[in-house]
Amino acid sequence: MSESVLEIKNLHAGIEGKEIINGLSLSIHRGEVHAVMGPNGAGKSTLSNVLMGHPKYEVFKGKVMFLGKNLLELEPDERAKAGLFLSFQYPFEVQGLAFTKFLHAAFKATHPKESISILQFRKELLKKLEELRMKEEFANRELNVGFSGGEKKRAEILQLMMLKPKLAILDETDSGLDIDSLKLVSEAINKLRGNEFSAMVITHYNRILKYLKPDFVHVLVEGKIVASGKQELADRLDEKGYRELLKELGVEEKVVVVEG
């Protein structure tokens, strides 16, 4: 079996003492792309925040290995330096920080052994901007400030292309992208694929998976993975929705009673 990039074992984690991730296990090997789907509130963004080491989140139990290192012992910047990349469901805006400067600083921090001048960096950035059909002026703008929803998402893929992480966790990068952008973004991710790049793609839509052709598809419900399979699982989900498919698969359904 190929080398494991991410190995999550029986993870219990959450926020403010509340357990949201509830015994989750998942392994990603070198070069693999895994899709994680699941209903709203299932814990997908919580999982990505926990993996990135967001200070508000707590780990109660479990183990996470990332390229042979105990991920949970690393600070967020050490995780990024080790090659972990997280895109956000809602990317934040940073006033006063030019996009090129931000990316160059991020590159230097995550690739301390490679020296690249800001001019060389900018040249490469402009090439990638063109690949993503983004205007050159983007390079000069403040990070995400005034970017449209879809532009923020493309800007994240641009970061991914420039920073070349070992594992990318993409939280709903496809939400809010028009069809052409979705194709471009998928192609960009596919170009990165190889022995040195793996990804966990969190999504609600099968459309991006048609382009990405993930190696595995997982369904996350109430903080754990309740079903795993290949593209066929995403297709069946698309057709039936969570309730029906999970019932069909024999995954226990929890009935929520709303009082009042």
Ligand X SMILES: Nc1ncnc2c1ncn2[C@@H]1O[C@H](COP(=O)(O)OP(=O)(O)OP(=O)(O)O)[C@@H](O)[C@H]1O
Instruction: Name 83's Cβ contacts closer than 8 Å, sequence gap at least 6.
Output: 66, 67, 110, 165, 166, 167
Tokens of 76: 């967020």
Q: Which does 51 bind (CB under 5 to 8 A by kind): ligand X, Mg ion, none?
A: none
Minimum distance, C-beta of residue 89 to ligand X, in the bound complex (Å)? 6
Q: Which residue from 13, 14, 45, 79 is in contact with Mg ion, where contact means CB under 5 A?
A: 45
Q: What's the angle, vertex CA 56, arms to CA 78 and CA 153, rounded to 5? A: 70
Tell me the site size for Mg ion, rule CB under 5 A. Answer: 3
Binding positions for ligand X, 34-73, rule CB under 6 A: 38, 40-46
By rule CB under 5 A, what string of x and - marks binding of each residue 63-102 to Mg ion?
A: --------------------------x-------------
Which one, 20 or 200, has the nearer CB to ligand X? 20
Which one, 18 or 113, has the nearer CB to ligand X? 18
Q: Which residue from 18, 137, 178, 256 is in contact with ligand X, where contact means CB under 6 A?
A: 18
Q: Which does 144 bind (CB under 5 to 8 A by kind): ligand X, Mg ion, none?
A: none
Q: Where are the alpha helices (DSSP H) in 147-216?
A: 149-163, 179-192, 206-212
Binding positions for ligand X, 174-233, rule CB under 6 A: none
Which one, 22 or 27, has the nearer CB to ligand X? 22
Question: Torsion angle of alpha carbons 146, 148, 149, 153, nearest 10°?
Answer: -90
Binding positions for ligand X, 86-115, rule CB under 6 A: 89
Distance CA 143, CA 106 (A): 13
Minimum distance, C-beta of residue 149 to Mg ion, in the bound complex (Å)? 15
Minimum distance, C-beta of residue 67 to Mg ion, in the bound complex (Å)? 25
Tell me the site size for ligand X, rule CB under 6 A. Answer: 13
Q: Where are the beta strands (DSSP E) in the chain?
A: 4-15, 18-29, 33-37, 57-66, 69-70, 84-86, 167-171, 198-202, 216-221, 224-229
Sheet of 69-70, strand order: 18-29, 4-15, 57-66, 69-70
Say if CB 205 and CB 174 are below 8 A apart.
yes
Which one, 88 or 197, has the nearer CB to Mg ion? 88
- Farthest-apart Cα atoms in the chain, separation: 63
Distance CA 38, CA 250 (A): 16
Q: Does 4 bind Mg ion (CB under 5 A)?
A: no
Footprint of ligand X on this chain (CB under 6 A)?
Answer: 15-16, 18, 20, 38, 40-46, 89
Footprint of Mg ion on this chain (CB under 5 A)?
Answer: 44-45, 89
